[in-house]
Structure 1
Amino acid sequence: MKVSIIVTYTNNYELMENFLEHIVKITKKYEYELILVQDCIASMKLLNLINKFVEESNTIFHFITDIDHRGYSKVNNFGVEKSSGDTLVFINTDVFPDSEAIHILCKELWSNTSYGIVQGLLIYPHNNTVQSTGHVFGNYFNHHALVNAEINEPIVQQKAIRQGVTSAFYAIRKQHFDLVKGFDTYYYNAWDGLDLSLKVTHDLGLYCMYIPESQAYHIQGSSRDVIYRNTDYQNAYFWTKWHDKIQIDYPKLILIQLKSSDFEPNQSYTIINCSTYPLDSWDPILSNLKLQYKATFTIKRYSKKEQIKLEESFSKILLERASPIIYLTDHFKELENNYRTFKLVANKDDFIIDLHGNIKFITKFLDLT
């Protein structure tokens, strides 16, 4: 197989320098083709840097589009047109893969004819936890799966089918990219890569795979410095396009973890909803998980930025009840600030479920043993 790495950029000099120094070491080792596509008015300093790399290699190619800021979908489709590989690897300039990560992705992609796209494990560089293991879907929501989970957790280290994955770092056969007609150019700066992976899943009937052995650090949000359009119209287009095809796979991810934990399936729980997601929207998810609960409470939050403070919302008597509690949150780290309260009242069977598919038993999560 011949591998073409497609990189589009709008970012600053420093990030591009660091990225190129890193990625070129990998392309030299494996003789990968590197396609660089500019989607901004770049400084002469940045252009001179790129030209230096191009002049020193016969496998690096640089293209400047005729229109400034055409958008992610258009410039990546343009990059594919200029490529010659039968394997396409899309990677953002804020992603720094391990030396073997791209090789592992491509090898996995071609190991099974039912694989359509493969994504590696993306890791936050500041705390070495999960940034993305692919996407997970609920009732009109989608999130990166297992965000901030420890990378050595069994669920993270398990290869898995995902309905959708992120083009920040994924590989696809050129023939499949052509079959789905590439990235949908209606999008400008959001949903592009996820949309492509859903086309592979639902239109081609192939699997999008998460491959934990292929690891890369992701400085999330740095590769496209300037966003010139809001995402509202893109959000509406995405959900209109996909709402009747997307399958709710969130409960499956939760169940995998519950089955491998100390979870007691016949236990009756109290539910405390700390999330910005309404309780009646959680009901079908909880029902799907076959969780039994006899009481429900909600902390009113008007913004995701609003801190969760259990002392301000519930009495100690309620939190010390006989039945264990399931805390529903947007993300499990939102409850970290309640260490004192949990130290006083936490039951060993209390746990947190968040919208990224994480499960955390509180006594273990906060080391309350």
Structure 2
Amino acid sequence: MIENQLKQIKPILSIIIINYNLEEEIDNCLDSLLKTLDKIEELSHSFEIIIVDNNSPNKNLFLLEEKYKSEKIHFFYSEKNLGFGKGCNLGASKAKGEFLLFLNPDTIVEEDIFTNILDLFNSEKKIGIIGPKQQTRKPCFDFSAGYYPNVFFELFNLFGLGVFFEGFLVNLLTKLSSKEYLNVHWILGAAIFIRKELFDLVDGFDKDYFMFFEEVDLCRRVYKRGYRIVYFHKLKIHHIGSVSGKRNYFLYTVRTYASKYLFLTKHYKFPNKQLMTTLLRFQLISQIIIWSLLSPLSFDKSKQKIKSFLYLISHQLKNEIDIN
């Protein structure tokens, strides 16, 4: 009787994971999630996990579906690779939770990040998005959150250093902060909490992005609605990072730069838009020079990088590879 009543109650949290050939990582992620959630009394009976497969050539996810048979875990299979944002939108359309967590498959959740984040949502109604610290193998840099592209960062990016400078800056700010969380401009898409009602209000992730910068775009639109974006750096998950994307340096680079260009054209106005996109074009040239010099050290990676920058120049910083 009690079990039937619990089934009818809407879950507090819907966790959405997008898969593309990462069945082993999803197995580890699910194992950590279930162990952690089982220890949280408030959530142990009030969560669901939604896994969307983006038409992975490797069909091993069916084996995981058998392994994790549960009324709390749901598997959905797309007939084509939707990309990250549209895959998340599909998962969110199936979600019943009051809050959503978009979680990368290459993450491990070993501590209770949920209680404090959900409490903060409930106590601060103008917080729209929250993200935990995503621990990586580079402890001196923090790529879990950040700030919108600006001229200062883009000048550093002429030498390929902008992302590291921003990561160093965020790491420094968290160490200097007396609070458990900071207001930021965006949260890295590997672990994003958002109110389901707000996600629906802003129409989810922008469908124009295939991969990368869709989370920055989402945070920007949420921010424009008057909500805060919060980085809860005292709460931590483990994030391996770009397991799927970086296997192909050409695609990874094309998607990154093209998505950044798309973000700039959507959200920046004259004269900032012209200045920022011009700097982005200069970065393509500077990166060709840098990777040409690095080619003796890493020939295959340099070859793919140079090929990607030449592609972006010839295609006016647009990604025409992933058009579905």
TM interval, shorter chain, is: 0.5 to 0.7
State which of 34, 38, 41 in structure 2 corresponds to 1:28. 38
User: Is the Cα–Cα contact under 8 Å of residues 18 and 54 in structure 2 kept in the other structure?
Assistant: yes
How many equivalent residue pairs?
A: 254
Q: Distance in 1 between matches of 2:198 and 2:19?
A: 24
* 2:115 paired with 1:103: yes
- Which structure: greater helix fraction? 2
Q: Distance in 1 between matches of 2:71 and 2:135?
A: 31
Moved more, 139-148 or 170-179: 139-148
> 1:171: Cα distance to partner?
0.6
For 2:146, the aligned partner's letter is: H
State which of 238, 246, 265 in structure 2 corresponds to 1:240. 265
Q: Distance in 2 between matches of 1:302 and 1:114?
A: 46
Residue in 1 that maps onto 2:231: 210
Q: Distance in 2 between matches of 1:225 and 1:25?
A: 29
Secondary structure at the aligned position of 1:99 is classed as coil
Secondary structure at the aligned position of 2:28 is classed as helix
* 2:62 paired with 1:47: yes
Q: Distance in 1 between matches of 2:227 and 2:291?
A: 36
> 1:223: Cα distance to partner?
4.7
1:195–1:241 CA distance, 2 compared to 1 (3 A):
same
> 1:19: Cα distance to partner?
1.6
Percent of aligned positions that are identical? 22
State which of 12, 21, 45 in structure 2 corresponds to 1:11. 21
Structure 1 unaligned regions, length at least 5: 248-276, 279-300, 308-369
- Which structure: greater strand fraction? 1
Q: Distance in 2 between matches of 1:43 and 1:156?
A: 46
For 1:8, the aligned partner's letter is: I
State which of 102, 109, 116 in structure 1 corresponds to 2:128. 116
Residue in 2 that maps onto 1:222: 243
State which of 193, 212, 216 in structure 2 corresponds to 1:171. 193
- Deviation digits for residues 127-166 of structure 1 (CA, Å, limit 9, x no counterpart): 5444324112322747484349489833496521112222
- Deviation digits for residues 87-129 of structure 1 (CA, Å, limit 9, x no counterpart): 01111111223320133222222220110101111111x3544
State which of 185, 188, 193 in structure 1 corresponds to 2:207. 185
Secondary structure at the aligned position of 2:209 is classed as coil
1:44–1:183 CA distance, 2 compared to 1 (3 A):
closer
For 1:134, the aligned partner's letter is: A
TM-score, normalised on structure 2?
0.68
1:149–1:162 CA distance, 2 compared to 1 (3 A):
closer
Q: Distance in 1 between matches of 2:61 and 2:197?
A: 33
1:23–1:305 CA distance, 2 compared to 1 (3 A):
farther
User: Is the Cα–Cα contact under 8 Å of residues 130 and 232 in structure 2 kept in the other structure?
Assistant: yes
Q: Distance in 2 between matches of 1:93 and 1:100?
A: 18
Structure 2 unaligned regions, length at least 5: 1-10, 155-161, 273-278, 281-287, 295-324
Secondary structure at the aligned position of 1:36 is classed as strand
Secondary structure at the aligned position of 1:8 is classed as strand
Q: Distance in 1 between matches of 2:213 and 2:195?
A: 20
1:34–1:40 CA distance, 2 compared to 1 (3 A):
same
Relative contact order, CA 8 A, sep 6+: which one is greater? 2
For 1:33, the aligned partner's letter is: E
For 2:27, the aligned partner's letter is: E
1:290-309 → structure 2 map (5 Å cutoff): 302-303=289-290
1:26–1:223 CA distance, 2 compared to 1 (3 A):
farther
